[in-house]
Amino acid sequence: MSMNVGSPDGDDGAVISTINTTPLVDVMLVMLIIFLITIPVVTTSIPVSLPKERVEIRQSKPENIIISVDTMGGIYWYDQKVANVEALVDKLKKVSTVTPQPEVQIRGDMASRYEGVGKILYACQRAGIVKVAFITEPPPLGG
């Protein structure tokens, strides 16, 4: 800490031309301590187990329902085009009452927008379908 007690020649009205950097250093040290404390908390605050890539072989059962989405966003129940989302919800409500409830498998074209798949998921939720799966192709070998 520095202190100015006056000039040696007794001139109290003289202008001090030096910069006092002590407050600047104090503020910087406080900020450094704050950053050192908060950075580890931000990066590892919630432990999460991230999914690993793996290929799961599933058997297709005859009672499973396959709904497809083409590149233009058209929705298909097996091979038949569904007119709109309400018609899909009506079909899924009929299926949801069956015991045991079948699994709905969604086949979405890679070039299609997510909106079509999202509509199917929302329709499944509205109809009370519990099991929903996505059909994908495995990556090529060696790649």
pLDDT band at 58 (very low <50, low <70, confident <90, very high): low
For 61-115, the pLDDT digits (tens) are: 777 888 888 888 888 888 889 989 999 999 999 988 888 888 888 888 877 888 8
- For residue 60, what pLDDT is reported? 65
- For residue 123, what pLDDT is reported? 92
**Residue 89 contacts by C-beta under 8 Å, 6 or more apart in sequence?**
123, 126, 127
User: What is the CATH architecture assignment of 65-134?
Assistant: 2-Layer Sandwich (3.30)
**Paired residues of 65 in beta bridges:** 104
- For residue 113, what pLDDT is reported? 84
Give the Cα separation of 74 and 87 in Å (integer): 13
- For residue 35, what pLDDT is reported? 83
- For residue 55, what pLDDT is reported? 60
